[in-house]
Amino acid sequence: MDIERALTGRTALVTGAGRGIGRAIATRLARDGALVAVHYGRSAAAALEVVAEIRRNGGRAFPLGAELGVPGDAAAVFDAFDAGLREERGEEVAGAEAADAGGSLDILVNNAGASGSGPVGQAVPEIFDRMIAVNAKAPFFLVQGALPRMRDGGRIINISSLATRRAFPESLAYAMSKGALDTMTLALAKELGGRGITVNTVGPGFIETDMNARRRTTPEARAALAARSVFDRIGKPSDVADVVAFLASDDSRWITGQYLDVSGGTDL
């Protein structure tokens, strides 16, 4: 007999889900029973691999392509989300009508991000603007687009960074843009509490992904990063995904407005 999983019957949208932490989150939420919209900006092939993996393992998912950090990005995401959801569910109603009919989204994970801004002396306006556009502005308007579609009792989970809680001068604009997510979490948690929607931030430390591969190019560099955690290892995407899965579940119903440090005790 099948055992009902924690997220059975729920729909999740995970941005930047083609690789790294986003991929781990998408596959974990699907494993827990959610139908997952696997968002990607430019890496369509990677996102399709994630969808295929989820389906092979008995889960449900569909790809959703829309670049973030450009004009109209949030609207494009939800146009694609509504279309993908209709196709997945075989619905013949418009996206807005589906939302009005009781909601079409339960979990939004703002994971997509841009990095590599450098220290203040090397900063240029174009890179700064991109950090803000992708890491702060896009999540803000994705929340705005999600709320009419989100059922009461939903979950908004923002993937921030330990760089907002530790000095990180080598990538200042990145840290600033992620700090905006932390602030957004606090305000939204208070605003949306009446609907039973929880809003929380997850702050990873050093996780083994493509984004920070340049910091792990030698055995010595890897060892130095590992030594910053009390567990003497670099984090894995699944270390973050498991925490996100908890926040997406009913077990986290009494947690909102919080920053969860998921750094393995970095720099304690």
Contacts of 18 (CB under 8 A, 6+ apart): 38, 40, 43, 44, 46, 47, 49, 50
What DSSP line would sit under 176-225, residue for residue?
Answer: HHHHHHHHHHHHHHHHHGGGT-EEEEEEE-SB-SGGGGGGGSSHHHHHHH
Taking the C-alpha atoms of residue 145 and residue 168, their distance in angstroms, rounded to an integer, is 32
Q: Which of 174, 229, 252, 263 is catalytic?
A: 174
Which residue among the candidates 160, 171, 249, 263 is catalytic per the annotation? 160
Q: Is position 259 annotated as part of the catalytic site?
A: no
Q: Is 160 a catalytic residue?
A: yes
Query: 43 an active-site residue?
Result: no
The residue annotated as part of the active site, out of 104, 117, 137, 161, is: 161
Q: Which residues contact 69 (CB under 8 A, 6 or more apart)?
A: 114, 130, 133, 134, 137, 138
Candidates 104, 137, 177, 178; catalytic one: 178
Which residues are marked as active site?
160-161, 174, 178
